[in-house]
Structures are given as C-alpha cells and as structure tokens.
A and B are shown apart, each in its own frame.
Chain A
Amino acid sequence: MIDPDLISVGITLKLATITTLVLFVLATPLTWWIARTTHISRYLLEPIVALPIVLPPTVLGFYLLLLFSPNNEFGQLWATIFGRPLAFSFEALVIGSVIYSLPFYVQPLQVAFENVRQELLDAAATLGAGPIDRFITIVCPLSRRGFIVAATLAFAHTVGEFGIVLMIGGNIPDETRVLSIALFDHVETLQYQRAHLLAAGLLTFSFITLFLVYFSNRTRQSPPFRRGIE
C-alpha cells in the first residue's frame, strides 16, 4: 500500500506539469498578442489576466464550481462528451489551475516579449521570415529566460494552490487530493508530524524555485563574463 501522502505528491506534480504545458500551448500566443498589439482591447484583457492575483481563490473557485456543475450548460456538455461530470474531477483541477496560474505565466513572458526589439522582427520580415517563422526563430530564443521564469512560476504556483482546489476539486484521494489539501487534512486530524513533513517540503520546494528564478534574473542583468574582457 502506497503512502497516501506520496499519492498526493504524485497528483500535485501531475497537475502542475499538465497545467504548465496547457499554459505553454494556450497562453503563449495570448501573451504575444497582449505584448504586441496596439488594439484597445489589450487594456481590458490585461486586468482580466491579472485578476487571479488579487481575487480570493474562493471567489474564482465558486464561479468555476457553478460553471462545472451538471446543472450548468457547460457542465452538461462536458458530461455528455466525456461521460462523467466535471466538478470534483482532476480535469476540473486542471482548468481551475490554468486560470489561477495564468498571470504568473503571462506576466514574466510579456516582459520578455516586450523586450524583443521591433527592428529585429522587421529585419527578419524583410529577410523573408513570415510571422510564425519570426516567432519561432527570433522571439522564442530571445525570450528563453522569460519562458523559464514563466513556466517555473506557473508550476510552483500550481503546486502551492489551495482555495480553488478545495472549491472545485474537493478532497478525493487518488483524484483531487493535492499536497496542500493533504496538509490541511493532517492539521485537522492533529497529525502534526505528517503535516510538518509536507509543510517543510513545500517550503523548501518554493524557496529553491524562487531562488532559481531570481538567480537566473541576476545573470541576465549583468553582462556575460566574456564581454568584460573584450
């Protein structure tokens, strides 16, 4: 019998990985659009993307729960297509996490995209590179650090979420019981020893993640060593 806490670790890592991949696929073009457009709708979209930073997760979780419920058309449609209800499922957690971690992915990447100079894109265009070619061969490599920071923050933030998971995922072992929920359970049942283990683990993980993010930012600001001796 596997330790239930280990199962929670597995679910958490799976959730964070899938969430980060979904964000990579869906939020990358969105971020590019926000970073480059001069269209007025940008000023509406930017605060919407940033909302999860300021909203209590329970607010978001509450609305998502209503949306996912079989009484709602979207929930119904999902249940019809996939044969099982969306609420309190792992899929619901993924959707919730994608929305909740969206700003943590978009914002660092947006800064990186905005730092790609227009001249380079213009030069690439006149050299015969179309929009997708330019994005893949110029924008992505130049925004490499932005991608690393964005993916790291989105991953770490998903690992650490609690409120929204509780609202839309509930607490189903093997399905939706992620680390933060397991920790909460241990505290409620006064198993402080086990709670300590999970809490210290999350704390260490978060610190190391942030340390790496800040460390990679530091090397970006100071020029490579090579230039110092030229």
Chain B
Amino acid sequence: MAISADIKLERLSGFSLDVSLTIPNNGITGLYGPSGSGKSTLLRLLAGLERGGPSDSVVIRSDEDTWQNESQFTPAEQRGVGFVFQRQQLFPHLDVQENLQFAIRRQHTQDSTDAGQVYEWLNIAPLLRKQVDQLSGGEAQRVAIARVLLNGARCILFDEPLGSIDRSARSKILPYLERLHRNLQIPMIYVSHSLDEITYLADTLYVLDAGRVTLNGSMLELSASLELNAAEGETASAVIACRVARHDQQYGLCELDFEGAPVFVNAQLYAPGEQVRVRIIARDVSIATTKPASTSILNIIEARIAAIELDTGPAALVRLERKGQCFLARITRKSLDTLNLVIGQTVFAQIKSIALLTDIIP
C-alpha cells in the first residue's frame, strides 16, 4: 500500500506543517529531523489520530482510497495502519498474550502474517505469559511491534520506537527491526531524531525541519550528501551497502564486496551473500593520488572525486564515488591544495577503520 499526503496545517502556537510526500509501497521510509520539526504530527495525521483544524488542508490517499480530504475522513480504526508509539502502549490490564489477542481479534486484513513467524522474528514466545509491567523497555517494544504485525496492518508507522529505551537495549532491538525490513512486503515509516537508527534502517529519507521537507531521496545517496553532513563536522559520515564475500578465519576478518573492491571488517555476524550496511566516518578516510604500495591500512578503495565542500575551518569534505555509491573523506584544505585534487579525478581512499552499522549503533 503506497500512501501520498499533501498537508498544510497551522497551529495557534505558531507551528506550521507544509509537506507533500509519497511513501513507496515497500521498504522503510525514514523521517528525520530535530524535535518540534513536525515528524510526530505528520505521523499522527497519516494514522488518522489527528485531523487538523477547519482552516487546514489535509489530503491523504492510500492507493486504494482517499483517507482524508476537505469532505471526508477515515478514522484510525478503519485505515489498517499500524502504529508503534514511543512507549507505554501495551494495555496494562491485559497480559502479553491478551494484548496480542486484542490485535488478532481485530485484524485489518485476512491474509495476515503467520503468527508463528512473527513470534520467531521478534522472539515473543518467552514473553507470552508475562504481565505488561514485568517487561523491560525493549521487550515491551517488541511486543508492541508483534501486536501491530498480528493485527494485519497494511503499513506500519514507527514514532521514535527506541526513543525511551536505554542505549544498550537499543542495539539489541535494531536487528529485530532489520529482520522485519528484510521479510515484510509492506511500507514502513520510521520517525527518529537519531541519524544512526535512520541510516541503519531506511531506504528512503525525508529530512524535516520546522515543518518543511528540506531533503528527500534515497538513503544511501543522501547519507553521503554534503548538505546532510556539512553541519556534522568531526562526526560526518556516510553509509555504503556491501555484500558479504567471505570470512577470513585466519585473521578473524570478514571480507565484504563494495562495488568490486574488497573491504575488510571485524565482524562474523552475517553469512556470505547477505547485504550489509557499513558506515564510514569521514575523518577516518585519507586520500592518495597514487595507489599506496606499502601501508598498514587494509582498506584502499579506488574512487572518483564527485564533490568538494570547503569548511570554514582548516578542513574540507570530499565526496568520493564508486559505481554510484558515495562516501566522504574529511581532509585538510592544505592537503587538498598540495595534492591538487579536483572534481572528476580518480584517487585512492585509505580507510582506517570500518564498522558494520550494527556494531556502531550504541
């Protein structure tokens, strides 16, 4: 189910939302922006939990019917849209199993996801007999997600689902979400103010600021965009997609294939052939104009300079492209001039350290 929305809304407080967006019919669409940028309001409008005032213009369509325009409004319970809230959404007077049954009894679609499958994906079985107040934050969110899946939602909206979970539990639940991402054929919208979570999960990205979409496009392309990273300074980074090639048992390394170039990471989690996302921090990347012959650095990738952004300080951000995928290098302006780097030039990027995204997210 694809969803399109055209929203112009104003609040007495001065907050306004003016967005127009299309959610593709599968994959995860990330909605990123600072607090107060309108992410949550947008999500609540899509779900039918809010409808805007009489002077606002809200038009929301799914590919089957119109949910909201000037003359009609489909209430939340009839939209078939699952919603995972930030916290405390399980019914406290029911235990875990009864919470799930509540959803099963009210299924939106008949061809719902197989319950056994959902239990396995989210590891629900050990929690079934528990009371809601016995669950940890991460467990409660897993149950909440299972409840939405068992409900047969045709689209799932996540409103900062990891926002109130401590950092160590967060890294445990992200792989569960990634598993859903790989297995479900329904669209999901993931709202967060954590760029880490978004880059880990999203395929498409919308960046929201003060109620406006400031950036929109494919996650992998945008992750290396200079606009998104210019303000990040020392922490500027990009995400690339690689395929697991093989495990090197002797040295405990995993060899990935990045558009034909070998990349070594310290991870044994994934099986050969699997797609993984890798984050490269811009300050860990240096540039050489000729292929370094003897160096301790393992990862040397041939790439083309696609763009250069000068910093106000001594640094410059260089966008490097290899067969359509991009990453960033943060070098000094002095090196930029000494090496005479120009756009279009082919260079060798030496990457000091690379980590799989699962390892980075704290």
Contacts and interface: CB of A to CB of B under 8 A. Distances in A.
Nearest to B134: A230
Contact of A122 (B49, B79, B91, B103): B49
Nearest to B81: A126
A113 to B, nearest CB: 15
Contact of B147 (A127, A142, A230): A127
Interface stretch (B23-31, B82-90, B295-303): B82-90
A126 B93 contact: no
Interface string B101-116: 0110011100000000
Nearest to B131: A226
Interface string A124-148: 1111111001000110011000000
Contact of B106 (A120, A128, A141, A230): A128
Interface residues of A, number: 20
B106 to A, nearest CB: 4
Nearest to A125: B76
Contacts, number: 71
B88 A126 contact: no
Given A119-B85, A119-B88, A126 B47 contact: yes
A123 B47 CA distance: 10
A226 B49 CA distance: 35
Contact of A126 (B77, B90, B134): B77
Nearest to B44: A122
Contacts of A124: 91, 102
Contacts of B77: 125-130, 133
A220 interface: no
Contact of A128 (B49, B89, B90, B151): B151
A124 B83 CA distance: 10
Contacts of A117: 88
A39 interface: no
A129 B83 CA distance: 13
Which of B88, B90, B93 lies at the interface centre, i.e. has the most chain A CB atoms within 10 A of its CB?
B93
A24 B78 CA distance: 30
B102 A126 contact: no
B133 interface: yes
Contacts of B48: 125-126
B82 A137 contact: no
A161 B106 CA distance: 46
A57 to B, nearest CB: 38
Given A122-B49, A142-B93, A230-B134, A127 B88 contact: no
B85 A122 contact: yes
B92 interface: yes
Given A117-B88, A119-B88, A127 B103 contact: yes
B75 interface: yes
Nearest to B50: A122
A227 interface: yes
Interface in A93-140: 117, 119-120, 122-130, 133, 137-138
Nearest to A138: B91
A127 B102 contact: yes
A123 B83 contact: yes
A120 B89 contact: yes
Given A227-B133, A230-B134, A126 B76 contact: yes
Q: With a 10 A CB-CB cut-off, give which of A122, A127, A130, A137 has the most chain B CB atoms.
A: A127
A167 to B, nearest CB: 43
Contacts of B79: 126
Interface in B200-243: none
A119 B140 CA distance: 14
A137 B99 CA distance: 11
A230 B91 CA distance: 20
A130 B47 CA distance: 14
19 contacts: A119-B87, A123-B144, A125-B49, A125-B76, A126-B47, A126-B76, A126-B83, A126-B148, A127-B77, A127-B148, A127-B151, A128-B77, A128-B108, A129-B102, A129-B106, A130-B77, A142-B91, A226-B131, A227-B133
Interface of A: 117, 119-120, 122-130, 133, 137-138, 141-142, 226-227, 230
